[in-house]
Structure 1
């Protein structure tokens, strides 16, 4: 079995996943979660998110078909989740309330923040265009970057300060809202046809 590693495919898939995961834009959410739960396990969150993404890359479409959900429905559901997260960021409100979670490493950090519906939908779309091994390399590259950001979130917070984080939160909230709207409009057409 030979690997068909293609630098261009790896670079393109990495950039698409980087934009969808948007770990830089999620820094305010990560900092907020850290304040709520005290500690975020960067290694655990990164490994779980990476495993979810690789698993979904190989069996995602089959799982959705098995439970009778098409990719478009999954993407529209993901668009709603992103929409509400964006509203939280822009308006400074809390819609997601958890009964004092002990850790935020798996939920909501690894899933749905890092390996969410947008990421899953992108992986299914990428699989139709690129070699699987190139997508796996792109996932690994993104997970390494995610880990680095999670590990240094405290330093990033100190550098940016409270106002800087507030500004970034609102700006990326609007960007996330735009991604949610695009994900919704692109996939709602597929549902209606």
Structure 2
């Protein structure tokens, strides 16, 4: 197992698109207004640990309930597909209750390390080396931390339209990745 920068870049883009921390800036700003403070360090550390733990024990959990990684990857590709549609079309297919505090729970889970992120991590594990996925997680966690720390400045800089453009660009990338992931794993289910 050696570092493959192409795998790291692709996995980083997938996680970046799924975590969608830029698209979550309005939620983060709302949390900051309600609670007055966001625990950026705590939220990013907990989210990172959750993602890395799921990378290692997620497959075992699936084996325990009798699901192979390829089936999970196909299911994950469908979730990524619908997440991408949400981002591109500006619609909400999945509605979650609005978090009420800025504690670790609404930030680290489900906002940063939510179901889509966990599904993506296991889907990526079906295709990429673990070391490259860990590197992608670390890159994203660093980026998440920077965004959490400077969410007000980013919102002011990008503006509402800028955030919408970034969401749509990453939605298209995520859609393409979902199609590729589906195509790569669907064959093994019929063998």
TM-score range, shorter chain: 0.7 to 0.9
Match of 2:11 in 1: 17
When normalised by structure 2's length, the TM-score is: 0.77
Asked if 1:72 corresponds to 2:70, the answer is yes
Aligned Cα RMSD in Å?
Answer: 2.9
Asked if 1:142 corresponds to 2:140, the answer is yes
Asked if 1:96 corresponds to 2:94, the answer is yes
In structure 2, distance between residues paired with 1:36 and 1:89: 20
Distance verdict in 2 for CA 1:146–1:17, change over 3 Å = farther
Match of 1:82 in 2: 80
Deviation at 1:119, TM superposition (A): 2.1
In structure 2, distance between residues paired with 1:141 and 1:166: 23
- The number of residues matched between the two structures is 182
For residue 110 of structure 2, the aligned residue among 88, 107, 125 is 107
Match of 1:169 in 2: 167
In structure 1, distance between residues paired with 2:151 and 2:157: 10
Distance verdict in 2 for CA 1:176–1:135, change over 3 Å = closer
When normalised by structure 1's length, the TM-score is: 0.76
Structure 2: gaps (5+ residues): none
